[in-house]
Amino acid sequence: MKSNLISKTETADVLKEISSQWKIELPKIKNLKIYELDEGARIIIGEGMTAIKIGENYLPFLTDAKILEKFPSVTVDMGAVKFMCNGANVMRPGVKAFTEFEKGQIVCIVEESQKKVLAVGRALVSSNELPTMVKGQVVENMHYISDMYWEIKKSIKD
């Protein structure tokens, strides 16, 4: 795994792209360190922020509580937890509560008892459609606890 510190200009460009994809304001970060993973994915670490880039998608890292709380969320029942932690998508019957979000937006997947974020993914429908949905996929699970990014991040010393 290669890592490199990127220039201030590149850092500004990456932060601008992340901010526009996430639709949230990011803190000012001077330096970003990028870890290149074999699969063409990257882990991006800066002061107060960790993200993953998979293809063109930037995802917040699950250990970033301050950043995660800025995202909309879907709360799933306890029966869905083990499936979320194995990478399954969020299905409508497992959804207990949700905040407002648009189709295509990054959404946190939260378990109902401890309110812990289990995963992040992309909304496949908007929150407006959920009240009338009975079944079907709601969120595509893109990063979850104990996935390969989670495990790789444990080996990185910031």
What CATH number corresponds to the domain at position 74? 2.30.130.10
57/91 same-domain check: no
The answer to whether residue 8 is domain-embedded is yes
Q: Give residue 136's pLDDT.
A: 97
Phi, psi of 132 (to 5 degrees): -95, -10
52/105 same-domain check: no
State pTM to two decimals.
Answer: 0.91
Domain that holds residue 126: 67-144
The answer to whether residue 157 is domain-embedded is no
User: Measuring CA to CA, how many Å separate 100 from each of 46, 78, 110, 121, 140?
Assistant: 28, 22, 14, 15, 16
72/140 same-domain check: yes
What CATH number corresponds to the domain at position 42? 3.10.450
47/90 same-domain check: no
The answer to whether residue 153 is domain-embedded is no
57/8 same-domain check: yes
Give the number of domains in the chain: 2
90/56 same-domain check: no
76/127 same-domain check: yes
Distance CA 24, CA 58 (A): 13
The answer to whether residue 151 is domain-embedded is no
58/98 same-domain check: no
Q: pLDDT by residue for the chain (158 residues), tens digit each? A: 888 999 999 999 999 999 999 988 887 898 899 999 877 799 999 998 999 999 899 999 999 999 999 999 999 999 999 999 999 999 999 999 999 999 999 999 999 999 999 999 999 999 999 999 999 999 999 999 999 999 999 988 75
44/105 same-domain check: no
Q: Give residue 26's pLDDT.
A: 86
Distance CA 121, CA 58 (A): 10
The answer to whether residue 73 is domain-embedded is yes
Q: Give residue 40's pLDDT.
A: 79
Q: Give residue 156's pLDDT.
A: 87
111/80 same-domain check: yes
Q: Give residue 141's pLDDT.
A: 97
Of 39, 115, 24, nearest to 78 by C-alpha is 115
Amino acid at residue number 11? T
